[in-house]
Chains A and B, each alone.
Chain A
């Protein structure tokens, strides 16, 4: 009998089914891999198991007993421990403090530091990370070492079911090898492991069972090694076969007709934006790209492969960047966002998190819209209110922002309209280069539909657009070309008709590395 069974578990966020009638079974002494593209419902599944999110429907059965976890602590008590992708470590405490945090050993009511030290050393040893000093502060450790501490912390809680969510994504090769050995040993000890990864070769190496999620549903269960890579991709894309991508299944996508509106542009002359060999902090590796006026270039790949860093690098946010950025063929040092938005560069970045990086929520729609453009709307530091009002009205009209006047706080608008304000704010400086960081994440279908034609329209008006999206269908619908990133490096360029869901997922998972390597049309060679 399986140690853990999920039966018909569902979870909705607003009108969206994040998880629908999902089943899953995990056995003691086995490693169960869960696969799926971005937004397939894997994270929701894990959060439900870890007690972070409550399911709307369905049952969680552990050892034949139905469970209702009220909190992460309750799930821990039942023996379920999760290593999250976002680190849960406390930066200013030591490694030992962190490993023991949820239940430190005590003597006379005080924390017994010696016992805690032993506990930490033991947990670090179990995770194969004996070289980490228990007294080191988390904030002084590299990302990979922190992730190892995170795993040690999980093991310190003596789990029976261990969930690893992209646990190796930040690890160095040496640490990955250690973790493989650790996971295999834990399997031998009779633990049930649920392993979420986008790295196919890891799954081949580790998994006993595989489950594929697609659009919130569990679409396939099979023994590891019983399906080919192609079959796995097919299942991850779901419903569609190799012939034609059926856009009607995804209402968020512009109709197929727009695909013909986004062919491989034949571009001439100097690119408006060019990057040569950008590298930063191990998160960007020798990325070169060119974007011409009139082009919409997509950034693809799995979430967190350096797309965000690339956009921040271009926008002048990152320090210690190596490589070169050329605007109109002229090398420029973009030292800060204010240089990036200056008339000489004319760059705008539509950020991913509109609530923190895009908007000042309590301030009015008008104030938010005019912020980036205030330089042009003021004289001697005094804002020309009439000009401001006229410009704001123009943008509200252009983007059809639904708002009850422009004096109300932007926080009172719907998510989609808030996102339009973020976009509108940057359109007010009439940028020549527009960088978008997953701008449609979490907004409604209607707004998405209005944003796509706007992007095309801006490109036709002569702007160069670099567009990162986690929604593959969006990239297919909007982009002339798509650059796929993997591990901080540019792995593949898909042009025009090559931009298909299958090609996007295949290259995002970095499958068929040989073919991909050949296909990367390096801008230098162009």
Chain B
């Protein structure tokens, strides 16, 4: 063959425009680390600012009691938001988290009672139930190849039905000392609930994030085809994500029981928590398209969302305004998050 083809000069010229690395890429390791955690950090900063304003204007200032109340309310939503994160990371959604919470709450009001041993067994039973609910969701999503949104609406209704069967009217009880310990304060006035949340992050989230299955969940959410072609266990990743979602939701249900000392099959509570969990996840920088974000971001998103209500309180606004302000904050956050769309050059990419 003769040497044909374009001269080298032509080639390099032709490719010059392609060669430029995307602008604004950091140089150092730390730069990349920071960039990786950018959304989580943004959620943290957002929360820190709002919480500081709240404390600054609170008549009592920063006391252990104020902190504990805020923490208890925040941790509850944070757990549900973590649950939602698992599903959303795989580009799915779990609309049953609120109902699993309600079911766990009703169940706990029966079995998390009595001696140390029966209480421990009761807690284990509640958590297992949550795990099972999540596993059912996951199994239907992967084996039925159905859209998670439909599956979890349906199973959510079933879980609520079970909760209603357990508790037609609100009532029940919970182990006093355990509830008191988890909703109270540790030495030095540190809220116990925030420490418990930290423990959950360390025991559940961090190992997930660093496991092969966690990596797979991110990969599936980012590009399912590329994940499959790379030999990533796509189905197992989804199954584990939904299962963990159920587990975290049941933890939140347990916590509700510790705060209220009773069980209540409230559909309104369930739906509210489900919707708030999605809001918290978005505020926390987890992409609803899947594949990016972190449960830690979602935790701060949840804490931020809760603080909105508290802010209204210290500024003497009527609580009636709360949904409106929460909506405004959510919209602003979503708008900031979608600024990247202005950089898209091929409009067809907007839809993919």
Contacts and interface: CB of A to CB of B under 8 A. Distances in A.
Nearest to B292: A92
Given A106-B212, A142-B21, A319-B344, A173 B4 contact: no
Contacts of B16: 172, 282
A159 B222 CA distance: 26
B21 A145 contact: yes
Contact of B229 (A88, A143, A170, A512): A88
B218 A92 contact: yes
Contacts of A140: 22, 25
A282 B18 contact: yes
A445 interface: no
Contacts of B348: 312, 317, 357
Contacts of A488: 14
Interface string B276-300: 0000000000010001100000000
B32 interface: yes
A472 interface: no
Contacts of A87: 226
Interface string A147-178: 00000000000000000000000111111100
Interface string A308-340: 000010000111100000000000000010000
B189 to A, nearest CB: 35
A285 B231 contact: no
B4 A90 contact: no
Given A142-B20, A513-B5, A90 B226 contact: yes
B33 A143 contact: no
A270 B18 CA distance: 35
Contact of B3 (A137, A143, A204, A489): A204
Given A90-B222, A93-B218, A136-B25, A201 B3 contact: yes
A109 B36 contact: no
A174 B35 CA distance: 28
Given A224-B1, A513-B6, A136 B19 contact: no
Contacts of B19: 142, 144, 172-175
Contacts of B210: 110-111, 113
A232 interface: yes
Interface string B250-270: 000000000000000000000
A76 B231 CA distance: 9
Contacts of A502: none
A52 B18 CA distance: 30
B2 A228 contact: yes
A288 interface: no
A173 B6 contact: no
B18 A141 contact: no
Contacts of A57: none
Contacts of A281: 17, 345-346
Interface string B223-236: 10011011110000
Nearest to A175: B19
B1 A229 contact: yes
Interface stretch (A96-104, A414-422, A461-469): A96-104
B211 interface: yes
Given A111-B210, A136-B32, A319-B347, A509 B232 contact: no
Which of B2, B207, B229, B232 has the largest count of A CB atoms less than 10 A from its CB? Answer: B229
Nearest to A140: B22
A89 B226 contact: yes
B144 interface: no
Contacts of A76: 231
B318 interface: no
A518 to B, nearest CB: 15
B215 interface: yes
Interface of A: 52, 71-73, 76, 84, 87-94, 97-98, 101-102, 104, 106, 109-111, 113, 133, 135-137, 140-145, 170-176, 199-204, 224-225, 227-229, 232, 280-282, 285, 312, 317-320, 336, 357, 486-489, 509-513
15 contacts: A88-B229, A92-B223, A98-B230, A135-B33, A141-B22, A142-B19, A173-B11, A200-B1, A229-B2, A285-B14, A318-B347, A487-B6, A509-B4, A510-B6, A513-B4
| A-B CB proximity, top 10 nearest | A282-B17, A201-B5, A135-B32, A173-B12, A172-B19, A73-B231, A92-B222, A92-B291, A172-B15, A511-B4
Interface of B: 1-8, 10-12, 14-22, 25, 29, 32-33, 35-36, 207, 210-212, 215, 218-219, 221-223, 226-227, 229-232, 287, 291-292, 344-348
